[in-house]
Amino acid sequence: MYSKCAELESARKVFDEMPQRNVVTWNTMINGLAIKRAWRAGIAGKELIRAMPSEYKIKPRLEHYGCLVDLLGRCGRTREALVLIEGMPMRPTATIWGALLSACRNNGDAEVGERAATKLMEVEPENSGNFVLMANLYAETGRWEEAEKPFINSLSPANLDDGFKQLAVRPPAPTAACTSSWSSGACA
């Protein structure tokens, strides 16, 4: 409760006095730091992640890193979040890369966003929503020509999910009644 109310000193005191901690208690503490949105919150969150194995004998899990990526993103520290992801002891998931890409969009950081989008599209190439996120980031930062590139590059059959395939424009197959070229408009 202290954590949700951004009473971090009280929350940390209760946290430190707990006989046992689990994923929920760790994430509650890290989320409390995110609510505060202080610049130092990112440092405190990273300190908690580092302290987990040595002081508390708990191996940080993917969920902990995801929470910290979100925290750093909320503070506008997208480059620092990227460094954290690249240094994780486990393979980042689409959720982790998506959190970073969303943070980049919220903070207008197209440079780190490009890196996150590239990794996200490698991990989850079939998700057309990833292309939309990157295109929106480009558009919101005034890079209109680049905003259409994620869509153009994604129009290979391997990258299209069923919903996106329906959006792709293809000429109709010629029929016996219509042998003219589709582009001439004669078969309309």
CA end-to-end distance (rounded Å), the chain: 65
Task: Answer yes or no: are the C-beta atoms of 46 and 83 closer than 8 Å.
Answer: no
pLDDT level of residue 150 (50, 70, 90 thresholds): low
pTM above 0.85, yes or no: no
Of 126, 77, 128, 73, nearest to 96 by C-alpha is: 73
The sign of the torsion formed by the CA atoms of 7, 21, 65, 123 equals: negative
**pLDDT single digits (tens) 53-69:** 998 888 999 999 999 99
* Mean pLDDT, residues 126-150 taken together: 82
Distance CA 25, CA 172 (A): 58
The answer, yes or no, to whether residue 118 has pLDDT greater than 80, is: yes
Helix then strand count (H, E) for the chain reads: 11, 0
Task: Answer yes or no: are the C-beta atoms of 123 and 156 closer than 8 Å.
Answer: no
Q: 164: which 2 tokens?
A: 């996106």
Share of the chain above pLDDT 70, in %: 71
pLDDT at 173: 52
pLDDT at 101: 94
Residue 104 φ then ψ, to 5°: -65, -40
Q: Strands (DSSP E) along the chain, which ranges?
A: none
Distance CA 182, CA 176 (A): 14
Distance CA 27, CA 24 (A): 5
The sign of the torsion formed by the CA atoms of 3, 6, 8, 9 equals: negative
